[in-house]
């Protein structure tokens, strides 16, 4: 019974959306929880989480390009300690969020048929962690 | 204890101490706008600072991804500042290096660079100095105190290392902000720079006794030549400068190719000649030159890692550098053998550092700080 799992990921350079559904499903299975809540959390400030369609890579590309349109990489960010891409990444994560709560039912994640869980990397390449905590409903 | 040797032995700890501090300073000083605007860099200074500039050129080009010209302060101030490419604000970045921040020529260079519309950065250990006042931006390279024994003024090696680290981390910063290095690459480079502390320790350990023995063995020598190529041309000039400062011997630093063109005409055949290479792109030429040096009776020292066997095999003496250090970072280590030799040479001769009572030390003679500046001359 493993209630907390840490998923390790190596992200590619720049921005990317990496599907982590299978790793989270495996963590749910390892937890032995039949019915409850699965909280997925990314303990980073330039990587977030998105639940969306993972079946067509073009969707991920559209999400990425729209986030770039909303938050262009520019030179006049106030946070200049790292790079402009890093500063933009902080804002993009503020939009995506860093955690999602998912329902566990019958020992499975209750995701929609087209839904995938994706790590949104905004300043790769990095080594990222995703924490998965599974809690059973009260008896 | 020889105070110059003590300084050299302190270098590994200094790297560990200075890298995080300088990295933080550089990140806070060089903003995104400047890093993204810059098209070319000029790194200028006098003496040790000029040598540090020469030693940093390869790192700037590799890490910052921008063409970089190291120049002596006189060359930049009087012959280059008036001819900077007029490519717009922020496109020419001139870095002036001076530990004291008070040397006239480097201050003049930054003043003229600003007049020419360049962005200016002072790399100095002295806040509020003339150089710092002349520049728009300042990176302080102040090292932790390392007091000299009473009455002794020790040739500086710690400040040279700090200047080099400041320049390297500036190159990383520019390269990272520009996207020439991604986060992973920049992080790895910073880690490599920090790891130079271990490589410096290995180099000190390998060279300390050997340099002392060489200084004793060559007590009879009257002049010394240091030869280097690429980033270690600066190292060669710096090592020669340290011998001059420490023992007062005639010493010159020379580019490897230039040595091969000129030194055959020297009168003294047995001149100790140090060939310095990290085993990079200059190795083949250094090995050829060392063969020639043997042929004309020079006493040949290989200052190189063990893997540079083509040079080491033809040398009569060896002062080993740590293995596995990228050529662009090698000047941080490659000066150590020459520094140690200079320190022990002074000790063997019983020569006080800097000849404190000599004519050249009298006030108003060398005018490093009081030299007339261009604006006064023009007036």
| Last residue in a domain, options B170, B197, B224 | B197
Question: How many domains does chain B fold into?
Answer: 2
Q: Is residue B354 part of a domain?
A: no
Q: Is the domain of B81 the same as that of B135?
A: yes
Mark yes or no for CB contact B182/A77 under 8 Å. Answer: no
| Domain CATH for B291 | 3.40.50.10490
Q: Is the domain of B27 the same as that of B174?
A: yes
Q: What is the pLDDT along chain B (379 residues), one digit of tens a residue?
A: 899 999 999 999 999 999 999 999 999 999 999 999 999 999 999 999 999 999 999 999 999 999 999 999 999 999 999 999 999 889 999 999 999 999 999 999 999 999 999 999 999 999 999 999 999 999 999 999 999 999 899 999 999 999 999 999 999 999 999 999 999 999 999 999 999 999 999 999 999 999 999 999 999 999 999 999 999 999 999 999 999 999 999 999 999 999 999 888 877 789 999 999 999 999 999 999 999 999 999 999 999 999 999 999 999 999 999 999 999 999 999 999 999 999 999 999 999 999 876 556 666 777 888 888 887 877 6
Mark yes or no for CB contact A82/B28 under 8 Å. Answer: no
Q: Is the domain of B35 the same as that of B130?
A: yes
Q: Is residue B171 part of a domain?
A: yes
CB B82 within 8 A of CB B116: yes
Using only C-alpha atoms, what is the Rg of chain B? 20
| Domain CATH for A36 | 2.60.120.460
Q: What is the pLDDT of residue B305?
A: 98
Q: Is A16 touching B (CB cutoff 8 A)?
A: no
Q: Exposure pattern of A22-38 as b/e (b: 16+ CB <10 Å)?
A: ebbbebbeebebeebeb
Q: Is residue B372 part of a domain?
A: no
Q: Is the domain of B100 the same as that of B156?
A: yes
Q: Is the domain of B14 the same as that of B63?
A: yes
Q: Which domain holds residue A64?
A: 4-136
Q: Which domain holds residue B106?
A: 3-197
Question: How many domains does chain A fold into?
Answer: 1
CB B39 within 8 A of CB B92: yes
Which residue of B26, B175, B184, B186 to mutate against A (max A Cβ within 10 Å)? B184
Query: What is this model's ipTM?
Result: 0.73
CB B334 within 8 A of CB B309: no
Which residue of A83, A85, A122, A128 to mutate against B (max B Cβ within 10 Å)? A83
Q: Is residue B378 part of a domain?
A: no
Percent of chain B having pLDDT more than 70? 98
Percent of chain B having pLDDT more than 90? 90
Q: Which residues of B touch A83 (CB under 8 A)?
A: 32, 176-177, 179, 183
For residue range A39-65, list pLDDT tens digits in order.
999 999 999 999 999 888 899 999 999
Q: What is the pLDDT of residue B20?
A: 98
Mark yes or no for CB contact A14/B176 under 8 Å. Answer: no
Mark yes or no for CB contact A124/B182 under 8 Å. Answer: yes
* Average pLDDT over every residue of A104-131: 96
Q: Is the domain of B134 the same as that of B273?
A: no
């Amino acid at each position: 019974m493993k209630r907390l799992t840490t998923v390790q990921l190596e992200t590619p350079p720049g921005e990317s959306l990496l599907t982590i559904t299978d790793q989270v499903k495996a963590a749910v299975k390892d937890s032995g929880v039949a019915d409850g809540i699965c909280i997925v959390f990314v303990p980073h400030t330039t990587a977030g989480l998105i639940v969306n369609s993972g079946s067509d890579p073009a969707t991920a590309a559209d999400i990425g390009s729209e986030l770039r349109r909303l938050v262009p990489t520019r030179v006049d960010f106030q946070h200049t300690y790292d790079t402009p891409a890093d500063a933009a990444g902080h804002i993009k994560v503020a939009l995506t969020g860093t955690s999602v709560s998912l329902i566990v039912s019958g020992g499975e994640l209750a995701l929609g048929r087209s839904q995938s869980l994706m790590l949104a990397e905004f300043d790769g390449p990095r080594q990222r962690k995703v924490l998965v905590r599974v809690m059973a409903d009260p008896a | 204890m020889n105070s110059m040797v003590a300084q050299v032995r302190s270098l590994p700890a200094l790297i560990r101490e200075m890298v995080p501090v300088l990295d933080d300073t550089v990140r806070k000083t060089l903003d995104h706008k400047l890093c993204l605007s810059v098209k070319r860099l000029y790194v200028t200074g006098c003496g040790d600072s000029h040598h540090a500039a020469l030693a940093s050129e390869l790192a700037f080009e590799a890490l910052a991804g921008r063409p970089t010209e190291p120049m002596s302060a006189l060359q930049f101030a009087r012959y280059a500042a008036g001819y900077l490419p007029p490519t717009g604000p922020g496109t020419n970045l001139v870095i002036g290096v001076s530990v004291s921040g008070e040397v006239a020529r480097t201050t003049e260079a930054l003043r003229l660079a600003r007049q020419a519309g360049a962005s200016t950065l002072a790399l100095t250990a002295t806040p509020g100095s003339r150089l710092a006042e002349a520049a728009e931006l300042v990176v302080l390279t102040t090292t932790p105190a390392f007091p000299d024994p009473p009455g002794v003024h020790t040739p500086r090696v710690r400040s040279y290392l700090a200047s080099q680290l400041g320049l390297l981390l500036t190159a990383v910063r520019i390269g990272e902000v520009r996207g020439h290095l991604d986060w992973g690459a920049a992080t790895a480079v910073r880690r490599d720079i920090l790891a130079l502390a271990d490589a410096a320790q290995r180099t000190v350990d390998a060279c300390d006794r050997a340099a002392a023995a060489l200084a004793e063995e060559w007590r009879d020598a009257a002049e010394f030549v240091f030869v280097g190529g690429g980033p270690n041309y600066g190292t060669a000039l710096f090592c020669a400068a340290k011998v001059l400062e420490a023992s007062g011997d005639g010493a010159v630093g020379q580019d490897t190719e230039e040595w091969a063109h000129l030194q055959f005409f020297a009168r003294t055949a047995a001149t100790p000649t140090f060939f310095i290479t990290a085993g990079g792109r200059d190795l083949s030429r250094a090995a050829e030159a060392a063969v020639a040096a043997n042929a004309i009776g020079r006493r040949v020292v290989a200052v190189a890692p063990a893997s540079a066997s083509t040079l080491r095999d033809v040398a009569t003496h060896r002062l080993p550098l740590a293995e596995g250090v990228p050529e662009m970072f090698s000047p941080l280590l490659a000066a150590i053998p020459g520094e140690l030799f200079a320190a022990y040479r002074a000790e063997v001769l019983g020569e006080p550092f800097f000849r404190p009572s000599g004519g050249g030390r009298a006030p108003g003679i060398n005018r490093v700080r009081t030299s007339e500046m261009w604006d006064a001359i023009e007036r």
